[in-house]
Amino acid sequence: MPPKTPYLGEFEYAVLLAVIHLGDEAYAVPMRELIEGRTGRPVARGALYTALERLEAKACLRSRMGDPTPERGGRARRYFSVTPLGMRALKSTHGALANLTKGLEAVLEQP
Amino acid sequence: MTPPTVPPAVAESLLRRSIANREWRDAVSGDLREEFSDLSRRRGPSVARRWYWRQAVGLALRFTTGRLIPMAAPRRPMTIPDIDTEGRSGWTWLNDGRYALRALAARPALSGAIVLTLALALGANATIFNLADALYLRPFRFAEVDRLVVVASAPDNDPLADRSSVAPADYRDWVRESSTLTDFAAADFWDPNLSEVDQPEQLAGFRVSPGFFRALKTAPAIGRTFLDEEATPGRDRRVVLSHGLWVRRFGADPTLVGRTIRLNGEPHEVVGVMQPGPSIPYGAEIWAPLAYTEEEWQERRRGWLLVLARLGQGLSVGTARAEMRAIVARQRQQYPETHATREVSVSGFIQAMRDAGAGPFLAIWQAAAVLLLLIASANIANLLMARGTERQQEFAVRLALGAARWRLALQVMFEGAWLALLSIILALPLAALGVEGMRRGLPPGVLRWVAGYEFMRVDWAVLGITALLGAAATLFFSLMPALQASRAAVSDTLRQGGRTATVSRSRRWLGTALAAGQVALTLALVVGSALILGAVDAAVNGVMGFDKHHVMTASLTLPDRPYAEREQRRQFVSRVLDRVRGMPAVESLGAVSFLPYAGSSSSRPIYPEGVELTPAEVRQADFQRATPAYLETMRIPLFEGRGLTDADHEEGRQVAVVSRSFADRYWPGQSALGRRFRIAADAPWIEVVGVSGDIMHDWFMNQRRPTFYRPYAQDASLTMSIVVRTTGNPLDVAGELRRAVAAADSDQPILELRSMEQVVADKVSGVNYLARALAVMGGIALLLALMGVYGLIAYLAARRTQEIGVRMALGATRWQVITLNVRQALVITGLGLVVGTGLAILLGRVMASALFGLVSLDPLTVVAMVVVLGLTALTAGYLPARRAAKLDPTTALRTP
């Protein structure tokens, strides 16, 4: 039986989108910058790590360790990518939101 | 140059230690490092370093409280060690400790309140302990100080006796005859005026026998101490300076040794500078050889020397005391004329030289601080028990799953230990603040005389006592909740299904007893501080017999060499008074030998005419020398006869004005006018020409001492205070007073220039200080006790929500519901006040005896405090009771 499509919280939704945006460069530092830059809201590092951990536990994300680099004091980066389940969750959340907003474009896109 | 790219090592290691998972550890610390080097490039390394610390600590806290990485599944409840680890890795202390920390972090408001309360109480205790340790227990910390003794011609059991009391001839006998004491040394007060410097100053000094430094086992930093042959008249113009004086007045000039400085108008060669260290005795900054003539050494009647000695190898103070008593017993036989009533005391150096008055003060403080800690602990115990009741479910589940009861108790103890640890960490900076505040609160003029002042700081002893008290408090306040946890009834609790119920009888009684205990201790503390505040008020604003307002004073001591002749002293005083008298703001002015409230006085034995007195019957009276306008300037009333006048000059009749208590003592029921007395069996007669009001010369003794005033013209003293009554602010004439003294003698320093109000305030500053510190502690205690009563009633009412709902549904009125809870508040308050009144009376008695009759147990104060505390405590209990009664019955019933 395929796992049930999980429900995504708002912040989890944002994290998954950021991972897709960043592609091969998806690790915590640029992710945080991207979310902050695009949403204009501050993102606590602790909160980001929590969300990443939780999404991985829900099997929406998978991670791999990169190569150690000297600028990180010989520590490797942890890169994330979205799993098929994560993609489904993203689509279903997006779809749900899109359904809700349908017909309200006039209101929502007013300056 | 590239900025450093390495973050603070300690912070990084802290962060890395806090993350259990290795991959996460690398990923997180690597991310942080990357951002660190970026920030360091853009904003500079110091900004980056601060940023890194913040991030690392924040992340580490998140990781260790277990909310992040160690949790495998989302939103899993807190890990309970029994279930989590038993059967796998077994039980570890670490797990219990970590779980306890998490349990505390889950209730930050409660934990914060507890930590703050405990830290305040511990901080107060640490501060007071440091004062007691520095000023009373160990004011002198140099090598072998415990082998040093002070020998005095004073009774053994009187800690306030003057130690500077040994006659020179007695001293010589002792040095010769004693076999238990070695390295005898004698010291005599010598306060020389330092001149030919930018500002003349009176220094605190002593003339000491050459063996003085040997007895103390101290060595000079530069130069030498005194040679034996320098203890002869004519060869004694040598001085040794304290390190402090050398730095303060001579800019630590290394070439000073060998040069001369001018003291009392005469050159003295500086032969040495001591090491930094305690100023012995009594804040001495300068020492000169004690050089008596053979004739002076023969003096046996009067004594003024301070005598130090070392205990012989392996001997105790008791042995030395026994021997000295035998020697003095022999002297009594040998010199019945002078030694009939002579006594001797041998006491340890610290006991003799510390500030004897500080003992009772510090004891009262320490008692108050311990009371505060008890109140805080009782408060915390109640809070923890309330919390324990909330957690009955958790405990029941754990018991049902097979946890040992002692594990639950240990769990609660662990939480207590964490709270204590955090409180101790927070208490230390609070204690440092407290000690610093205490240092600043001391009047600067007094500092030099406070032995052990330099030890007022947070040290290992403070750390130790804080940790000890913290541990004791923890045991006290977490033992009962721990027992409660271990007794949790499994089936009942589980069956109740978490619904609230009335608190068990024993639990309620325990809570009541704790809250009542807080009320009782608080009552004792507030009564204590009210009594002292009252005493201070009486001392500052009470009846003194003189008017302290609008009076400026200047105290000084003339050196005896240029002022050997009385005439010279008279001229000096006239020159100063004449110059100041011309000022428009001056109403009247005079001079007196000893200013009231300033701390020193002089007394003489009185032999009234026509009465034969045995030596034991002769009593002393305070001896003052005053210029004619002194009494008027101080507004001391004249009841009979006349005051002193300019006609009372040296060749005139020898006269005196006596105080009323003097007149009543020697001529009760008769007029004292025209009566005569003398101040030595062979001195000339002095005639009483007037009777003045009594004054409080020294509030500390709290009694009017019989006093006689002699005309300054007939008996000019070296020590004097100029007093000036002004029409406006007394400080306005300070500058002119200073200039007048400089004009009369440019080498003459003024010891102290203060308004009379300031003199009074300075004198009571010690007790004032005590009163304020006690008032602060009383205030904190009151707040804690009210919190305690409020918290308990609110908690009990909350536990009864269901019961209240049922009662109201069945027709109970609001008032009936309120009384249900208020009854408990009444019991707490009543019980607390009854016990507290007993405690307060006990404390009042102790204070009355410790503070030498300064404080008296005033029943009105006790009653007033009982009423105030009773009303506030009842209010604190009534508020939550009323809130509980406002509940809507249907909501109350539905509440889970």
pLDDT digits 0-9 by tens, B263-297: 888 899 999 999 887 778 877 889 999 989 888 89
Place of tokens 């608080």: B522
Give B62 to chain A, closest Cα distance, Å. Answer: 7
Backbone phi, then psi, for B638, in 5-degree steps? Answer: -110, 120
* B134 DSSP assignment: I
For residue A44, give how far its alpha carbon lies from the nearest alpha carbon of chain B (Å). 10
CB B67 to CB A65 under 8 A?
no
**Closest Cβ opposite residue B26 in set A49, A54, A76:** A76
Mean pLDDT for B53-61 is 86
Provide the b/e sequence for B815-839 (b: ≥16 CB within 10 Å): eebbebbbebbbbbbebbbebbbeb
Q: In this structure, are residues B769 and B441 in contact, taking their beta carbons and an 8 Å threshold?
A: yes
Return the closest-CA partner of residue B449 out of B557, B536, B361, B353.
Answer: B353
Please, are residues A82 and A52 in contact by the beta-carbon 8 Å criterion?
A: no
Mutation choice for A interface testing from B34, B40, B51, B52 by most A CBs within 10 A: B34
According to the model, what pLDDT value does residue B502 have?
56
Closest C-alpha among B551, B505, B600 to residue B724: B551
Those residues whose C-beta lies under 8 Å from the C-beta of residue B501, and which sit 6 or more positions away, are B799, B802, B803
Confidence class for position A3, pLDDT limits 50, 70, 90: low
Q: How does B763-773 read in b/e, with b if 16+ C-beta sit within 10 Å?
A: bbbbbbbbbeb
Residue B311 contacts residue B149 (beta carbons within 8 Å): yes
Q: Which two tokens stand for residue B875?
A: 């209010």
- C-alpha B703: how far from its chain's center? 25
* Site from B26, B39, B76 to mutate, A interface, most A CB atoms within 10 angstroms: B26
Q: DSSP states of B456-480 as a string?
A: -S--HHHHHHHHHHHHHHHHHHHHH
- The 10s digit of each residue's pLDDT in B588-611 is 999 999 998 887 788 888 999 888
Structure tokens at B87: 């059967």
Pick from B34, B55, B69: CB nearest A29: B34
B15-29, B355-369, B512-526: range with lowest mean pLDDT = B355-369
pLDDT at residue B67 tops 50: no
- Cβ–Cβ under 8 Å, residues B853 and B702: yes
Contact across the interface for B68 and A45, Cβ inside 8 Å:
no
Mean pLDDT of B179-206: 86
Residues 6+ apart with CB under 8 A from B84: B95
Strands B707-711 and B619-626 come out as parallel
pLDDT tens, residue by residue, B649-702: 888 889 999 999 999 999 998 899 999 999 888 889 999 999 999 888 776 655
Instruction: Give the per-residue pLDDT at A2.
Output: 56
Chain A residues lying within 8 Å of B24, measured CB to CB: 49, 53, 78
Burial B360-369, CB ≥16 within 10 A → b, else e: bbbbbbbbbb
Answer whether residue A105 shows pLDDT above 50.
Answer: yes
Residues of B in contact with A73 (CB under 8 A): 6, 29-30, 33
User: Which residues are CB-contacts of B296 (< 8 A; sequence separation ≥ 6)?
Assistant: B168
Q: Are B586 and B725 in contact (CB under 8 A)?
A: yes
Name the token pair of B50: 């601060």
Which pLDDT does position B78 carry in this prediction?
A: 41
CB-CB under 8 Å, B73 with A29:
no
Q: Which of A7-21, B154-168, B863-877 has the lowest mean pLDDT?
A: B154-168
pLDDT tens-place string over residues B453-471: 778 888 888 888 888 888 8
Which member of B24, B30, B67 has the closest CB to residue A72?
Answer: B30
Mutate which of B6, B15, B25, B31 to disrupt the A interface (most A C-beta within 10 Å)?
A: B31
The answer to whether B26 contacts A65, with C-beta atoms less than 8 Å apart, is: yes
Whether the model clears a pTM of 0.90, i.e. scores above it, the answer is: no
Q: How confident is the model at residue B201 (pLDDT cuts 50, 70, 90)?
A: confident
User: In this structure, what token pair is assigned to residue A80?
Assistant: 């994330």
Tell me the three state secondary structure of residue B549.
Answer: coil
Q: Given B23, B30, B68, which is nearest A46 (Cβ)?
A: B68
Nearest residue in chain B measured CA to CA from A64: B23
Tell me chain A's radius of gyration from C-alpha atoms: 16
Instruction: Please indicate whether, in this complex, the C-beta atoms of B68 and A28 are within 8 angstroms of each other.
Output: no
For residues A51-78, average pLDDT: 87
Rounded percentage of chain B residues whose pLDDT exceeds 90: 19
pLDDT at B360 over 80: no
Three-state SS at A69: strand
The backbone region for B500, taken as left when phi is positive above 0, alpha when psi lies in -120 to 50, beta otherwise, is beta
Which residues of chain B neighbour A69 with C-beta distances below 8 Å? 30
Q: What is the pLDDT of residue B84?
A: 41
The two beta strands, B619-626 and B148-152, are: unpaired
Rounded Cα distance, B257 and B863, in Å: 66
Asked whether residue B817 carries a pLDDT value surpassing 60, the answer given is yes
Chain B residues whose CB is inside 8 A of the A25 CB are: none
Question: What whole-number distance in Å separates Cα of residue B464 and Cα of residue B462?
Answer: 5
Stretch among A24-28, B227-231, B443-447, B552-556 having the lowest mean pLDDT: B443-447
Q: State the pLDDT at residue B116.
A: 86
Distance CA B310, CA B180 (A): 9
* B414: nearest Cα among B125, B120, B91: B91
pLDDT confidence band for B443 (50 / 70 / 90): low
Cα angle B249, B254, B255 (rounded to 5 degrees) comes to 100
Burial level of A88, CB count in 10 A (0-12/13-18/19+)?
A: middle
Question: In B391-459, which ranges are continuous DSSP H helix?
Answer: 392-400, 405-441, 444-447
CB-CB neighbors (< 8 A) of B27 in chain A: 27-28, 65, 75-78
Q: How many Å apart are CA B375 and CA B734, to the nearest integer?
A: 49
Q: Which of B156-165, B742-751, B756-765 has the lowest mean pLDDT?
A: B156-165
Q: Please give the helix or strand (H or E) that residue B348 lies within, else none.
A: strand B345-348
* Averaged pLDDT for residues B779-794: 83
Chain B interface disruption, residue of A12, A31, A49, most B CBs within 10 A: A49
Nearest to A71 among B32, B37, B62 (CB): B37
Q: Which of A3, A9, A28, A1 is nearest to A83 (CA)?
A: A3
pLDDT tier at B1, thresholds 50, 70, 90:
very low
For A71, which of B26, B34, B55 is closest by C-beta distance? B34
Inter-chain touch A75–B72, beta carbons under 8 Å? no
Sort strands B655-659 and B619-626 into parallel, antiparallel or unpaired.
unpaired
Sign of the alpha-carbon torsion through B723, B724, B728, B729: negative
- pLDDT(B633) > 90: yes
By C-alpha distance, the chain B residue nearest A79 is: B27
CB contact under 8 A, A75 and B26: yes
Beta-carbon separation of A49 and B67 below 8 A:
no
Residue numbers in A near B69 (CB within 8 A): 49, 53
DSSP B320-342: HHHHHHHHHHHHHHH-HHHHTT-
- The Cβ of residue B508 has, within 10 Å, a number of other Cβ atoms equal to 16
Q: Which residues of A touch B (CB under 8 A)?
A: 27-29, 44-46, 49-50, 53-54, 57-58, 65, 69, 71-73, 75-78
Tell me the percentage of chain B whose pLDDT exceeds 70.
Answer: 90
